[in-house]
Each structure stands twice: as C-alpha cells, then as structure tokens.
C-alpha cells in the first residue's frame, strides 16, 4: 500500500502547480488490497487443504465427468454445430472475430505439440505464422499462385523451417531453448522488415487474392463466410490430427521426451529424431494458419508477427492447459473472444491479463483444463488373461 | 556358454577424475551377476558406459544380440543399444511421471513397433492392430509384475516400491536379452526386498534374460547372484562366486567386513 501511495494517492497538477492529495483513492486501494490479500490467503489455505486431503486419501485418480465419452462428444458436437451456424447469425465484423479466434486455436494447438506435449519451451512461434503468411503473399504477388495451391505448401515450408531450426538447438532445453527460439522469431521479423525490395519492408504486401471458390466471384461478406468455413474446417482437422498424434506411438515418444530425456533414450527412442518431429509437427500448423491469415486480411506486414504475437499464443497454451487441446480452445476463447466482448475494460486489458496469469500460476499451474493421460480400455485384456 | 556382454578394459575419465579404470566384466547367457562396491566406486558410471549414455574413454564394450554376432557398442546411441536388446533401470527412479503406468510401459514398446506420423494420423488397420497389441502386451507385463491394479494411475502416484517395479516392467517391455538393474532394492522394506528377489529369478526364467545388478543389500546379492564383481575407486578388486568373494581378504577389508557373518 505504501508503494502505491505516490502513484495513486498523489496527483500532481501541472497546470496550477499544486499537488492534489487523493485520500479517497488511497482508502480504496487500502480496502482493495486488504480484501485481495484476504482472498489470496483463503485461496492458498484452500489449496493446502486440497493437497492434504488428496495425500491422505488413496492415490487413485479422481474421476471427472469428462471421462464420460458420450458427454464429451455431445458437447463437442454441440459446439461444432453452433460454430457452423454462427456466420449466418452475426455480422461480418463478428464473423471476423470468430475467424481470428479459430486461427488462434490452430496456432495454439500447433504450439501445444511443441510446448505441451514435447515439453520444449518455444518463444518464436509467430515466425512460422509469418512464414506461412509471407509464403502465400509472395507467391501470390510474384507468381500469381492461388490460395489452395499455397495452403499445403505454406504448412510444409513452416515445417521445414521448424526442422531446420531444431538442428542447432537439439542440445538446448528450457530457458536456453526459449532464448534461441525468441531470437529466431525476431530474426525472421527483421528480415521481413528490412528486405524491402522483396517483401515490401515495413509496409508489407497488399492486394493478396482471397481464396477462390471454383472461379466464382463472391461478395465481401460472402468471402468472409467462405473463409470462416475454411478456418473452421482447418481447425477441426488440426484438432483431430493433434489428438490422434498425442495418443499414438509418436505422441507417447514426445511425452516421454518431455518427462525424462535420459530414460526416453534408454527406452529405445531416438532423441534427435523425436525432437525434429516435434518441431516439424508443431510449426506446420502455424504455416497453415499464416496462409489463411494472409488470405483473410489480403494485406500483411511484419507488425502482425511480433514477439507479442508469440507471447499471446504461448499464453493460450499455458492458460488453457499444457498438452491439452480442449484447454487450448478455452484459452483462445479467454484471450481472443473475451477481450473483444469486454471492450469496456480494454484499458485494463493487459493488467487483467497479467493478473489472470499470476493467479493461474499460483493456483492452477496445470491450466484451466489440465492434460490427462489417456485411459486405455483393457478390461477385455484382463478377462482374457484371467481366463487362462 | 555364450557371453552376452563382454566389457574389455573399460576406463572412464571425467576431466581429471578417473571414475573407472581398466574394468573388464563378462555376463553369459541366463546368468545373474552382481556388481558391488562402496558408494562412489563407479558402479553407475559403469552402467552408463555399457548402455552408451557415456562413451568410455578407453576400452571396448561388446554385446551379442539374440541370434546374432557380437556388436561393438562404443559410440552407439543409447536407443540403438536398447534396440539391440539391452535394457536398464535407474538408481534414482526415472519414470515418465506424468504419464499413466500403462503408458510408461507402452512407451518402451517404441523400438519394437513402427507406426510413424502418417500412421498416427490416418490410423490404417495395421496401425490399429499394432496399437492394440501394444496395449495388450504392456498390460500383460503389468500383470506379471502385479502392477495391473494401478494401470490407469499416474506413475508419480505409485508407492515407492511399485515405482521400482514399474521401472523393471518398462525395461522388460523393450524385449531385452540383458537387463541391468541399478540398486533395485534401494528404499524397499524387507518384505518388498524378498518379493523382489523372487521376481528377479522369475523374470530371468520367464523371459530368458541375463541380469547384471548393482545392489547394496548383501543378503540379496549373496543369495541371488551366480558371480559377483567387487569395485572400489573405479577398479575391480575381486571377482568370483559369492563364497569366494565373501572370503576374499581385500573385499573384507574394503567393504564386506560386517557381512562376513551375515
Ligand atoms: N557425469 C559425471 N561427471 C563427473 N563426475 C562423475 C559423473 N558421474 C559420476 N561421477 C563421479 O564418478 C564417481 C563414481 O560415481 P558413481 O555414481 O558411478 O558411483 P556408484 O558406485 O554408483 O555409487 P553409489 O553406490 O552411490 O550409487 C563419483 O566420484 C562421481 O562423483
Ligand atoms: Mg550408483
């Protein structure tokens, strides 16, 4: 409270050269701080209690209602059905917001493969988003290539770039890896900014073609809806692929790499191969998202791919739950949709964002929807074994 | 009988520290061999050299895979060594803590299966069959080690003794010919240790393994092993049957004094 005193309690009025004391504000801050600290204590105590009771009980994992497959699929189906009808119900502006929400889901799921599943802290993810976007912008600008031709190519280019970046950082982990990837992100951005003759420099590239629908001309609103469906399809594809990968031989190898590198190798997994795979599999999605982004905005410049962008995507993953794709969806909703619909608070956006992050780290470090290891049905195996 | 593992005069230097000097060890098919020695003698370092986690500074390591000829392991990647048929457990338990017990074992099937990225995405028939086979075999292993009631638990939630067992189950899932156990009884109570002793013999017979183990529990070492190597300060100071080692004056002096009447 003392610390905030000069900030909040005193206002210097430069016009009249007098100092206004704002006692009322000070009192408010005091009360606010008290309430917050009480809440804080209470929450901490509650957390301790939960831990103690969890330790006291049997070690068996709690069943959550999410274990119910039917429920999960009906909720998922409902959400998808809702998303399918959305563009017909809302304005073009709103559709745009949803497009960017879905783009962030794709980006989040992609980054989640690297950060959440394989446990490699990665800070320059926007670079791969940029690679996808510029791939389409440049190929379209210079060679007149269409959206559908570049979409797979953008993903492939980003994946190749990811694998190339992985080579020099194979030995790095944690903070060091974060710093190198951060540097890579900045390098890509700086190259785009300074290679004016080719990339258009800071002013970027404009008049990028929108995706074509069998040669038909669409109205602006029509194209928007069309792009919305492309993004939606891409998002679903990303989710299905990411979920399948996670529960596969490759996905288990990625998780083992995250858990313990030495044991992972001792269990017969090629550390180098798996790391390259993690990078390639993770960055490809940023490439796809980048191509769609360029087609949606028809104009791109390096300012869209700053470190801030990478930080947002990483926050989506961390907030939602590392390694959990459902968490990413929720995280993206929280960080992309919420700010749009809470315009009133836009001034405090960064503060609220920071507070949310800190609270999250303290009380729920595993994220809103924590990743859970897959539950395998082995009942039949048991019976079979028992019968022998 | 055929030598499964043949270590010839291996030395390992860490900077100025000579952690192993001129160590030679052989393990033959189906044998249970123990390595004992005081703390810091270099036993774990020896395991790391054998499994190629470290590359020995001098000397050679040969391993004979099932139905094959001896292969020189120096400089090989650890995962390639595992694929040849050597598996290990760790002194300081190294489970995949945030994965389920079953998944821990499933991971170890990696080098015996082959589904890749596209297999994972498109899930053709053969991948689904392979996946089902992984689950079946992994679960059968858990059952063999009595860990099946916990198969869906996170590995980190297992009691300590069970975690050591899970490490063994995981190592067995790689279908080894030689199993290296680094202090498997550490931290176990006498009942658990007795059960472990039976388990080691059982898996040796059931899976046709050779077993090389590091252990401080003398009753376990003496009753289990057919041969014992004794290390001190990175050197082998004795080698022989439990009876021979027990009587060796250097060993008694270095290490076994109190065990002589155990
Ligand atoms: N990576 C390393 N770098 C430097 N020194 C090491 C390294 N690994 C082991 N040492 C040293 O080598 C020596 C042997 O260690 P090692 O862990 O092999 O002993 P140990 O016989 O397994 O002992 P314990 O019974 O305590 O497990 C010790 O002095 C240790 O400090
Ligand atoms: Mg040791």
Domain boundary among B171, B186, B218: B171
Predicted local confidence at residue A54, as pLDDT: 46
Whether B91 is in a domain gets the answer no
Tokens of A292: 């769609």
Q: Domains (ranges, CATH) in chain A?
A: 1-39 (no CATH), 94-370 (1.10.3470)
User: Residue B102 sits in which domain range?
Assistant: 98-171
Return the pLDDT at B240. Answer: 93
Residue B218 binned pLDDT confidence (cut-offs 50, 70, 90)? confident
| pLDDT at A58 (0 to 100) | 39
Chain A closest CA to B182's CA: distance in Å?
13
What is the C-alpha to C-alpha distance for residues A309 and A329, in angstroms, rounded to an integer?
Answer: 17
Supply the pLDDT for residue A72.
Answer: 73
**What domain count does chain B have?**
2
Average pLDDT over residues A141-145: 85
- pLDDT (tens digit, 9 = 90+) per residue, B108-149? 999 999 888 898 889 999 999 999 999 999 999 999 999 999
What's chain B's average pLDDT? 91
Closest CB to B152: pick one of A61, A253, A269.
A61
pLDDT at A28 over 90: no
Give the pLDDT confidence score for residue A55 in this predicted structure.
43
Q: How far is A30 from chain B (nearest CA, A)?
A: 42
> Do B144 and B117 have their domain in common?
yes
CA distance, residue B98 to nearest chain A CA (Å): 7
Which range in A86-95, A307-316, B203-212 is most confidently predicted, on average pLDDT?
B203-212
Measured by CA distance, the residue closest to atom 9 of ligand 1 is: B45
Decide if A109 contacts A330 (C-beta within 8 A): no
Confidence of residue B260 (pLDDT cuts 50, 70, 90): very low
Same domain, B200 and B167: no
ipTM score assigned to the predicted complex: 0.90
Q: B95 vs A260: CB contact, 8 Å cut-off?
A: yes
Give the number of other CB atoms < 10 A from CB of residue A237.
Answer: 14
Q: Domain boundary at B149, B171, B193, which? A: B171
Cβ distance of A268 and B108 shorter than 8 Å:
yes
Residue A289 makes CB contacts below 8 A (sequence gap 6+) with A103, A106, A107, A110, A129, A132, A234
Give the end of a domain, one of B171, B190, B211.
Answer: B171
Q: Quick one: pLDDT at residue A44?
A: 67
Pocket test residue of B12, B14, B89, B231 for ligand 1, highest count of atoms within 8 A of CB = B14
Q: How far is the CA of B190 from the centre of ligand 2 (A)?
A: 21
Structure tokens at B192: 């658990």
In a domain, B90, yes or no: no
Q: Is residue B20 in contact with ligand 1, taking CB distance under 6 Å? A: no
Answer yes or no: do B48 and B148 share one domain. no
Q: With the C-alpha atoms ordered A105, A111, A117, A122, is the resulting torsion angle positive or negative?
A: negative
Which atom of ligand 1 sits closest to the CA of residue B234? 14
Closest-lying ligand 1 atom to the alpha carbon of residue B47: 18
Enumerate residues 34 to 73 of chain B having a beta carbon within 8 A of any beta carbon in chain A: 51, 53
């Amino acid at each position: 409270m003392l610390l905030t005193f000069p900030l909040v309690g005193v206002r210097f009025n430069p016009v009249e050269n007098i100092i206004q004391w704002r006692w009322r504000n000070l009192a408010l801050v005091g009360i606010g701080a008290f309430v917050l600290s009480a809440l804080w204590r209470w929450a901490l105590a509650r957390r301790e209690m939960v831990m103690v009771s969890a330790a006291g009980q049997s070690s068996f994992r709690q069943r959550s209602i999410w274990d119910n497959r039917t429920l999960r699929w009906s909720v998922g189906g409902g959400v998808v059905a809702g998303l399918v009808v959305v563009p017909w119900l809302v304005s073009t502006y709103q559709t745009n917001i949803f497009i960017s929400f879905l783009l962030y889901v794709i980006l989040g799921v992609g980054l989640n493969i690297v950060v959440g599943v394989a446990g490699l802290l990665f800070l320059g993810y926007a670079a791969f988003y940029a690679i996808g976007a510029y791939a389409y912008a440049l190929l379209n600008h210079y060679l007149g290539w269409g959206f559908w031709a570049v979409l797979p190519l953008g993903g492939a280019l980003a994946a190749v770039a990811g694998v190339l970046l992985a080579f020099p950082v194979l030995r790095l982990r944690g903070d060091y890896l974060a710093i190198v990837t951060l540097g890579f992100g900045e390098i890509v951005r700086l190259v785009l900014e300074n290679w004016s003759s080719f990339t258009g420099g800071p002013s970027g590239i404009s008049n990028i073609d929108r995706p074509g629908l069998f040669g038909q001309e669409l109205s602006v609103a029509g194209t928007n809806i069309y792009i919305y469906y492309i993004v939606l399809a891409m998002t679903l594809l990303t989710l299905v692929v990411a979920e399948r990968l996670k529960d596969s031989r490759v996905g288990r190898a990625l998780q083992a790499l995250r858990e313990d590198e030495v044991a992972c190798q001792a269990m017969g997994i090629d550390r180098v191969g798996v790391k390259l795979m993690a990078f390639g599999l993770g960055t490809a999605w940023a490439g796809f998202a980048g191509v769609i982004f360029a087609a949606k905005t028809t104009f791109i410049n390096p300012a869209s791919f700053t470190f801030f962008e990478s930080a947002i995507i990483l926050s989506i993953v961390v907030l939602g739950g590392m390694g959990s794709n459902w968490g990413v969806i929720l995280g993206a909703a929280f960080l992309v949709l919420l700010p749009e619909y809470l315009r009133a608070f836009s001034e405090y956006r960064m503060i609220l964002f920071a507070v949310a992050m800190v609270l999250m780290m303290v009380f729920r470090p595993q994220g809103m929807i924590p990743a859970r290891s897959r539950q395998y049905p082995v009942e039949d195996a048991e019976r079979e074994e028992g019968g022998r | 009988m055929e030598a499964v593992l043949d270590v010839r005069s291996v030395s390992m230097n860490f900077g100025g520290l000579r952690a192993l000097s001129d160590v030679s060890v052989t393990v033959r098919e189906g044998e249970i061999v123990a390595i004992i020695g005081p703390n810091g003698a270099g036993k774990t370092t020896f395991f790391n050299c054998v499994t190629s986690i470290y590359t020995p500074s001098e000397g050679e390591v040969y391993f004979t895979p099932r139905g094959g000829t001896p292969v020189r392991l120096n400089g090989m990647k650890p995962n390639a060594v595992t694929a040849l048929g050597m598996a290990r457990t760790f002194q300081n338990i190294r489970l995949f803590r945030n994965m389920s017990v079953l998944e821990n074992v499933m991971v170890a099937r990696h080098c015996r299966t082959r589904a890749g990225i596209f297999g994972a995405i498109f899930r053709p028939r053969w991948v689904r069959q392979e996946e089902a086979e992984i689950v079946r075999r992994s679960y059968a292993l858990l059952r063999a080690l009595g860990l099946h009631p916990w198969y869906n638990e996170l590995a980190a939630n297992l009691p300590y003794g069970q975690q050591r067992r899970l490490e063994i189950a995981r190592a067995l899932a790689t279908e080894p010919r030689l199993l290296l156990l680094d202090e498997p009884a550490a931290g176990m109570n006498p009942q658990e240790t007795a059960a472990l002793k039976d388990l080691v013999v059982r898996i040796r017979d059931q899976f046709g393994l050779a077993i090389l183990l590091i252990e401080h529990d003398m009753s376990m070492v003496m009753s289990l092993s057919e041969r014992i190597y004794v290390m001190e300060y990175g050197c082998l100071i004795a080698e022989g049957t439990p009876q021979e080692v027990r009587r060796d004056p250097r060993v008694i002096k270095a290490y076994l004094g109190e065990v002589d009447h155990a």
